[in-house]
Amino acid sequence: MIHKTEVQHIVLNGNVIEIYNDNESPCLKILFKPECIQTSIENIEEFHLGDDVDVYCDIQINEIRPAIGSPDK
């Protein structure tokens, strides 16, 4: 369960779809696979199954590494 005001550590899994240099810095474009999060809300009556929602969050990348089972290069 992710609580809105607490820092939570998660791992998102995805596929590298582009590798390029941006101002001489190597970059990856990563397409994330569909994920599911569970979070607390203020009022359960505001939401209905199938609603589209915007999730505003902060993200900090700590590390990027090949997923387990990826071939070594």
Give the pLDDT score at 37. 84
Q: Which of 43, 39, 32 has its CA nearest to residue 56?
A: 39
User: Does an H or E element contain 14, and which?
Assistant: strand 14-22
pLDDT digits over 28-43, tens only? 999 988 888 888 888 8
Give pLDDT tens digits for 48-73: 999 999 988 888 888 988 887 766 54
Tell me the DSSP string of 23-36: TTEEEEEEEEPP--
- Mean pLDDT check: name the lowest of 3-12, 14-23, 64-73: 64-73
CA 47 to chain centre: 22
Q: How many CB atoms lie within 10 A of CB 36?
A: 4
Residue 46 φ/ψ, nearest 5 degrees = -75, -20
pLDDT at 24: 86
Q: Where are the domains of the chain?
A: 1-43+51-68
